[in-house]
């Protein structure tokens, strides 16, 4: 293995360490916080040799690989955030059903909020606001600003109207739950329609790798051309950039459609 290959490997490892999220640790009080950054320091130490020892085409190849890994990880992280937001949206629907069910059987609103907060710890700030006599709709709107909790705005509106008008809160929350359920059903239908587009995009993004492997199996040297010549590096950079741009574009379209 050539020294350039070793340094390129160190550069790729450094890029991976840089894009990985930092591990979280908990202090004596149980609060979560960011741990010390030894991985990030190791990443910098891994990238420095690449900048010092690589030159010419080797340096260009290392830059292409590092940038591709970084952008690809960002796309993966964004997809993971979207899936987490979808899970939270489902939990908001379950939260509405739980509140409406408790209120229907005559449970006081504060007790219903505390019981729901025990079942849904991520929504405990709402129960805490009710226990302290604070503004419950405001606490719900604060949570609604986070990804996945947007439907809490409807719950906050129903709660506020019931408080001011004296209308039945259980019925209002039941209607809100029905509306949220209809929205989730529509979102699932849209996501199912987009699944085929995502599958096609993944296939198209993986086809260049397949053809390179097939060419290597037939006795050609596509890797040598792509990594060892100036035209090949240009093709590699343009191909990787177009693939990532296409996936990012599809992700933005999916996010805008689901948001609408």
What DSSP assignment string belongs to 14-50? HHHHHHSPPPEEE-TTS-EEE---HHHHHHHHHHHHH
3-state DSSP call for residue 132?
A: coil
Measured distance CA(88)–CA(78) in Å, rounded: 15
Q: What band does 31 get if pLDDT is binned at 50, 70 and 90?
A: very low
- Quote the mean pLDDT of the chain: 75
Tokens 């509405």 -> residue: 96
pLDDT of residue 146: 87
Mean of pLDDT values over 64-81: 83
pLDDT of residue 26: 41
Strands (E), the chain: 24-26, 32-34
Query: Is pLDDT of 2 > 70?
Result: no
Using alpha carbons only, what angle is made at residue 237 by residues 231 and 239, rounded to the nearest 5 degrees? 100
Query: Is pLDDT of 203 > 80?
Result: yes
Helix runs in the chain, H state only: 3-19, 38-53, 57-104, 109-119, 124-131, 136-144, 152-165, 169-217, 222-228, 230-259
Measured distance CA(9)–CA(69) in Å, rounded: 12
Measured distance CA(190)–CA(30) in Å, rounded: 40
Query: pLDDT over 70 for what percent of the chain?
Result: 76
pLDDT of residue 254: 78
Structure tokens at 88: 């939270």
Q: Pick the more confident residue, 213 or 19.
A: 213
Query: Is pLDDT of 234 > 80?
Result: yes
pLDDT of residue 216: 79
Using alpha carbons only, what angle is made at residue 16 by residues 10 and 22, rounded to the nearest 5 degrees? 125
Tokens 């209809």 -> residue: 182
3-state DSSP call for residue 209?
A: helix
Rg of the chain taking only CA atoms, in angstroms: 26
Cβ atoms of residues 169 and 157 within 8 Å: no
Task: Please state, in angstroms and as integers, the Cα–Cα distance from residue 98 to each residue in 94, 140, 164, 183, following that order.
Answer: 6, 15, 22, 18
Tokens 């177009």 -> residue: 242
Tokens 């590699």 -> residue: 236
pLDDT of residue 167: 62
First to last CA, the chain: 53
Condensed to tens digits (0 to 9), the pLDDT of residues 102-136 reads 888 888 888 888 888 788 888 888 888 888 878 88
Query: Is pLDDT of 52 > 70?
Result: no
Q: What band does 224 get if pLDDT is binned at 50, 70 and 90?
A: confident
Mean of pLDDT values over 18-35: 43
């Amino acid at each position: 293995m050539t020294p350039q290959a070793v340094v390129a490997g160190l550069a790729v490892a450094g890029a991976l360490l840089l894009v990985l999220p930092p591990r979280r640790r908990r202090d004596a009080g149980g609060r979560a916080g960011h741990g010390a950054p030894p991985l990030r320091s190791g990443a910098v130490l891994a990238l420095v040799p690449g900048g010092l020892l690589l030159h010419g085409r080797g340096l260009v190849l290392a830059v292409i690989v590092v940038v591709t890994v970084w952008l690809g990880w960002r796309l993966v992280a964004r997809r993971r955030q979207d899936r987490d937001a979808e899970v939270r949206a489902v939990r908001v629907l379950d939260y509405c059903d739980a509140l409406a069910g408790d209120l229907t059987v005559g449970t006081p609103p504060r007790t219903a909020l505390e019981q729901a907060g025990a079942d849904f710890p991520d929504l405990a700030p709402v129960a805490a606001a009710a226990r302290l006599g604070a503004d419950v709709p405001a606490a719900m709107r604060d949570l609604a600003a986070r990804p996945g909790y947007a439907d809490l705005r409807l719950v906050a509106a129903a709660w506020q109207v019931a408080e001011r008008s004296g209308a039945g809160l259980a019925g209002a929350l039941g209607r809100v739950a029905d509306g949220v359920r209809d929205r989730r059903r529509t979102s699932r239908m849209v996501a199912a329609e987009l699944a085929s587009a995502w599958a096609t995009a993944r296939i198209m993004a993986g086809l260049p790798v397949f053809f390179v492997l097939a060419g290597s199996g037939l006795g050609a040297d596509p890797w040598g051309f792509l990594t060892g010549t100036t035209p090949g590096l240009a093709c590699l950079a343009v191909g990787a950039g177009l693939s990532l741009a296409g996936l990012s574009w599809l992700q933005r379209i999916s996010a805008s459609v689901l948001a609408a």
